[in-house]
Amino acid sequence: MTVGGVLLALLVVAAVGYFGGLGPMSRLNTARGIEPPAKLGGLDRVTDSEIRGQLKLDQTKEALSRINDGKQATVEAYGNLDGNRLFVIIALRGKVDIDKTIKDSGASPEMVKVVGKSTCVESNELPTQCYRGSNTLTVIAQAANDGVSVNDVGPLADEAFAAMK
């Protein structure tokens, strides 16, 4: 009975560490793959190798994983080059300090807005970006077109976060 209780307690602690990104089990979580959804916001994921090459999605993914100690990452685009809606989604296993990232980008406080559960930056000089994170996953959604508001990008960041958990 005691052995069973101890084993159950260890399993609960391990599960909290793995899925919550806490303690020594968090390293296992960062090695989990990230499966991008086929659609986000009604837009298809860009799978054409020529377009992916033009957008440098795979090179960016490899660089992100390399500079983040081998943590799993993905960089995907949704929409198409001919349309007026193209978004780039970056997802990284592990926690990123979103407030520090925004501050380091040079965004002033009036440029920062919360849309849904995402923190967004809207600027005339920079692409519109929204961030959503937890201890186990950080998602950045960025508009690749001019004139896209945080109200368009924020829900996409939330949807990507939910889909890639």
Total domains, the chain? 2
- Averaged over 3-13, what is the pLDDT? 45
Binned at pLDDT 50, 70 and 90, residue 8 comes out as very low
Q: SS3 for 122-159, per residue?
A: CCCCCCCEEEEECCCEEEEEEECCCCCCHHHHHHHHHH
Mark whether 16 and 46 lie in a shared domain. no
Mark whether 19 and 50 lie in a shared domain. no
- Written as six digits, the tokens of 73 are 């990452």
Q: Which of the pair, 80 or 10, is modelled with greater confidence?
A: 80
- Averaged over 1-23, what is the pLDDT? 48
pLDDT at residue 26, rounded to an integer: 47
Which residues span the domain enclosing 83?
Answer: 34-164
Mark whether 81 and 119 lie in a shared domain. yes
What contacts 131, CB < 8 A, 6 or more positions away?
A: 96, 98, 101, 102, 118, 119, 120, 138, 139, 140, 157
Report the percentage of the chain scoring pLDDT > 70.
81
Mark whether 74 and 25 lie in a shared domain. no
pLDDT at residue 76, rounded to an integer: 96
Binned at pLDDT 50, 70 and 90, residue 30 comes out as low
Q: Chain-wide mean pLDDT for the chain? A: 83
Please write the tens of the pLDDT for every residue from 142-158: 998 888 899 999 999 99
Mark whether 13 and 41 lie in a shared domain. no
Mark whether 65 and 140 lie in a shared domain. yes
Please write the tens of the pLDDT for every residue from 59-117: 999 888 888 777 889 999 999 877 778 999 999 988 889 999 999 888 889 999 999 99
pTM comes to 0.79
